[in-house]
Amino acid sequence: MSLVLRFLNPWLRLFEKRQLAGGRSHESLRRSFERKARLFFHASWGSRVEADQLNGVPVEWVSGQGVASDARPVLLYFHGGGYVFGSPRTHRAMLARVSELSGLPACLPQYRLAPEHPFPAAVEDALSAYRALAGRSGGVILGGDSAGGGLALALLGEILRMGESVPKGLFAFSPLTDLSFSGASIEENAQADVMLPTSRTDEVVEMYLPDGGAEDPRASPLFADFTGAPPVWLTVGDTEILRDDTLRLAEQMRGEGVAVEVVLEHDLPHVWPIFQPFLPEAMATLRALSRWIRSLSER
């Protein structure tokens, strides 16, 4: 455990977890996340950001230093935030680092958020953005974190169900794959998780799924069929409440013949790679991911 992590975990427990559990409105959480991202998450020197649209979905293109915008394949990445907050701006610094390490450009859609735009708006936007890139030479690698990781997996399930062009691979950090929150780690890690409280899971579901349907595979990809899926790379911390969202999904995918690599880390916070400007464990994870991405792009 690095010295930074020894300070980061107590800080997250004392401030971030309390804030998320404190009943603040979704508008307040959005403003807070955006403000903290500007303060703490800075893109590496020489990276570039460009606004664009794909089939009507606003996106940001992010490229690390020296990465050509037409390099292939492209990383299509969906930000986390419980389907309620977060944006390409909150995650562009991390993706600039991934772009730099992998040598590939990243595209971050600004998909519609709940409660203003409940399910299936996010899935529709994800599919629209993917279809705009699917014909790109070199293909697409899907990615995401937390709810965005769940969205990437839900998109993959839809792509397979509809017989669309299959991406080259998918990676996810601490994905939310089960909106019924039936995994044992929800209760087992309720105290151990330094960031996510369990007290607001029902509220997230009410905002994103006001009409119910948590077992719809477009909302909870744990219930999707991934037969025929490309290679998948997943990482999660053993003390996260979403630990079993990853472990159960990986077990299911392997049973369907999918090549899945799971990196289970000890005592790391939810979506720790986002702390890449200052956390050594975050950089180690991003380097490992980038090696996996390069192995896909070289095939």
User: pLDDT band at residue 299, thresholds of 50, 70 and 90?
Assistant: low
What DSSP designation does 227 have? Answer: T
What DSSP designation does 59 have? Answer: E
Q: Which CATH number characterizes residue 291's domain?
A: 3.40.50.1820
What's the pLDDT tens digit per position in 94-146? 999 999 999 999 999 999 999 999 999 999 999 999 999 998 888 999 999 99
* Nearest of 195, 141, 188 to residue 169 by alpha carbon: 141
* Nearest of 107, 145, 105, 99 to residue 125 by alpha carbon: 107
Whole-angstrom Cα distance, residue 32 to residue 30?
5
Its pTM stands at: 0.97
Least confident of 22-26, 87-91, 103-107: 22-26
Write out the H or E segment, with its range, that includes residue 145: strand 140-145
Output the CA–CA distances (angstroms, integers) from residue 190 to 75, 178, 200, 238, in the order listed: 33, 16, 12, 12
Phi first, then psi: give them for residue 201, nearest 5 degrees: -65, -40
- Residues with a catalytic annotation lie at 146, 240, 270
Alpha helices in 174-230 (DSSP H): 185-188, 201-208
Average pLDDT over the chain reads 96
Q: Which domain holds residue 128?
A: 3-297
68 pLDDT more than 90: no
Count how many Cα atoms sit within 13 Å of the Cα of residue 289 in the half-sphere of its side chain: 31
Q: How many domains does the chain have?
A: 1
pLDDT value at residue 249: 98
pLDDT value at residue 24: 82
Share above pLDDT 90 across residues of the chain, in percent, rounded to a whole number:
92
- Residue by residue, what is the 3-state secondary structure of 67-110? CCCCCCCEEEEECCCCCCCCCHHHHHHHHHHHHHHHCCCEEEEC
